[in-house]
Structure formats: structure tokens, C-alpha cells
Chains A and B, each alone.
Chain A
Amino acid sequence: MIEANGLVKDYRTIRALDSVSLKVGRGEIFGFFGPNGAGKTTCIRVLCGLTQASGGDAKVLDIDVCKNPVWVRDNIAVLSEETRFYEEMTPRRYLNMFGKFMLVKKSERLARINSIADLADLRGFIDQKIASLSQGQRQRVSLARVLMADAPLLFLDEPFEGIDIIHRKKLREHFRDYVSRGNTIFFTSHNLIEAEHIVDRFAFIHQGKLIACGTAQELKDKYLAPSYLLHVSDPQKAKEALDRGLRLQNIKVIEGQVMLTLQKRADAASISKILVQENVDLFEMRTTGTMEEVFERTARGDVC
């Protein structure tokens, strides 16, 4: 769906993108993360054909985005953080206008607006002027515009901004259903914790450079120490047994659960064996460490 090779974007003396190469496949939610000013938005702009790269090349949906930016935009939908509105319009009219841009027939357009209004939680203000809406409501209107598009590729910049918990759940389900049909989402957010449960693959950008890319597991394996949280029948006994039987960096009991960090990831398979030998029941074993920690480490250049 997306293939970028050595993308460079310079703004006079500033290099916003520095040899960024990435591939995004069909049917995945691709997360693109980085701090403010790292180059996320610039990268999206280049991939959407809204600005031209200073170097490198990129294909989106097999279309050369440098040569045919409008053709690319014909087939994608973009949710940008800088979306502006025609303040006099109501969300309904705004969405109708974009439906026309997408050349959707009137009956279908109206049906789509109705269904998207539910999904993006617009019902309470769909016929009010946009000028009177809050920032969160505006964000939902923008999101609705994107969701209306019958496009195989979505670029979503902070799609959950201003969305309440109930609708977030619905949206996540919608996104999962959307990609399960072979579509793709290029996703950015500041909330890595939430993103971890949505995104299939992560890419981290820092100071214009792509510093890491992979699934959550791959990145955690690569960048985080092997830490686990164990829910067992006897935490104290388990702690003592594991301390004796494994090479550990540390182990402690927190809130009735055992938390440990191995010196070598390969030792993880021995945990259950030791607990069986000690007659301790293992109810659940989870890896710990978040993608935020991964990002911090990649940004610092740390590798396990």
C-alpha cells in the first residue's frame, strides 16, 4: 500500500525528513509515532501528496505520489491535525459537500452521513453551525469526513482526540473491521498505550529519522528487558523458587503478583517448569513493559 524509499524533506535550513524508508502492507494498522516536531506530519503530507519531497520517492497504492499527488488523494482519506472548517456550515452540510467531492450519489451520501454520525458521535450537534462546536466536536466532524470515504487507505492523525470511551470502543472495532477487508490505516497518536492495542506495526520517528519499525512484540523483544508479571497461587513461594532457579536482574511481589526481570530472554521457558516443580499454580503470565518505554529507549539509542 505504501512504499517509501529514502524520503527527504528540507525546509530551508531544517531537515524535517531524513532518508525515511518504510513499507506498509494491506490489511494492517500501521502506527507512526514520535514527539512533536519529529516529522510525523511532514511524512504524512509527503505520502498524501500535499507537499513534495526534496528527495527520495514514494508509492502509495502503487501510484507515484510525487508525480500524481491528486490521483493519490482520489484514493485516500486524510485526517489531519490542522483541519479547518467553513464555520457557517453545519456538520451535515460539511459532510454532504465532501460526499459530493467523493462523487457519491445523493441517496448513498445521506445514508453514509447517518451511519457515520452514529459512529463518530455527531448526533447531538449535526445540525448546529460548526462555529459553535467545541474542539473535540470539531475533531469528530473531521473524523466523520474521513470515515465517509470509500478509500482503501486512511491516514489518521490522532483519531481518538475528543472521542469518549464508548465511542472509542466502537471506533476500534470499526477500524479492525475496516482493515480485515484488506484496507490499511496509517495511524498516528500520542497515546502509545492505547495505540498498542490497535496498531499492528509500529514505526518510531525522531528528529526526522526512522529509528525503529516492527510489531509490538518484536520491538519489545529488541528494546526492552524481559520482564514478566505472574499471577500465581503462592507468590512468596514462587518468588523464592524462581530466585533460586533463574538468573534474574530482579524479582519482587507487588499486590499479590510476582514481577521479575530475566537476565536472558531464553530463560522465560523455564519459569513454568520451576513453578510446577514447586507445586505453585500459574494462573497467568504476562510480559510487562510498554511501547512508551520502547520509544524512550529507541530515542536514546538503547538496544537490549
Chain B
Amino acid sequence: MNALVEFRQVCYRIGARDILRDLTLEVEEGETLVLLGRSGSGKTTALRMVNGMLFPTSGEVRVEGRPTTAWDPVRLKRRIGYVIQEIGLFPHYTVEQNVGLVPRLEGWDPARIRKRAGELLTRVGLEPEQFLPRYPRQLSGGQRQRVGVARALAADPPLLLFDEPFGAVDPVTRTELQRQFRALGRDLAKTSLFVTHDVREALMLATRIALLHDGRLETLAAPGEFLRSGSGEAQAFLAGLDWRQETAG
């Protein structure tokens, strides 16, 4: 197995506060590794270190075997797709321009970009003719999130980062998006690193779950093992799952 991303004894400190403590973790090619944790557990920080939005205080993060500090920052980011909860679609660009952004920055010719944008919209379940000319404000939350995923896939990056991408949509749409995400992951055989605080989502999407607690890696396990984990934090998350099923509408 080949590690596409490696965290090696990564620490991250802001002032006197440790956000990440000695994180060592490998993301294998083709897998969907879910970083699960409470708010403030350091999961987003870890994610942002992969594409060089942040750099470790000590230790290193390697992508394709090379430390992120040794990559050209722009090259590194263009090789990695990135989807955040707020999506961050460009409001002054149409869906086509949003999806085609990285290809355009990479200098693809317009006909190829257009074709690619159409293909990707179809992939994420949006009718190209109908949606390519629209602006983000003309889309629903779920549609925006789909466009965000299509945009991250545009230049066919080997690695995708997701930061609670489905956190802001309604529960029904979320389940739909999660299903589609899982199917998409199988189709495209991409490597994904996925941040969430939703244990149900983690269990559904992950090949492995890395549970972070106070900046430390608490448990690293496949979903089946995770369910049987004796770790206190894992139990706390799983208890949340029961509670959710009892009361959530």
C-alpha cells in the first residue's frame, strides 16, 4: 500500500495552545479516511496542513512523499481538491466558470473546460444544460454543495479534502449527498480525507476513521472496529449516535 499523505509527528501550536499533538497518520491511496472529532479537536487544522494552508509547528506532512514545505504552494493546492462547508462558490461566476476555475488557471482550452464542466455536473447529479449558465445565488444549498464537489474534481486531482461539506444542508439532502459521495468515491477511486463531527456520516463514508481528541489521535480503525472500540471518546461519539436516533426527527 502506498501512502499518499503522511503526517509525521505533527504538532501545531498557536501561542501556548496545542492544537495538534504528535499526530502520526498515513492516508493510503484510494481510501476515504475520515477525521472525526469534536469542535476544537484539531481535525480541520490537520486537514488544512495537507494542502499547505497551514504548516506544522514541528514534524512534517508529506504529500506524495514530499514534505508540504518543499512543494510549490500553488502547485500543491492545484493537485488537491478542496470542499468546505461554506462551499465558497464565486458569486460573480456562473456554475460553468466556478467548476472550470482550476482548469482555466491551468490553461486548458475553453472547449475542453466546457466539456469537463458538463461531465462533472452530470456526475454530481445536476443537468448541465440547466445548471451551467446559472449563478450560485440561483441554486439551493444542496445544489451549491454539488457544484462545490464538481469544482473540486475539475482538474482530476488525485487527492480530495472535505471539511464538513454536508454540514449546512438539511438532513434529507445530506443523506442524498452522502450516498452520492460514496458512489462517486467508488467510481473515481480517489483518495479522500474527510472531516466531520457526525459519527453516522463517518461510519457511512469511511474506509478508516481517525478519531481526534484534544489534538491527539485517539483511535484509528475501520468502521466495524470503531463500533467496538473501547476508547472513551469513541464511546462518547457512539452514545451520541443512539441519542440521535431516539430524538432526532
A and B held together in a complex: no
B interface, CB within 8 angstroms of A:
none
A interface, CB within 8 angstroms of B:
none
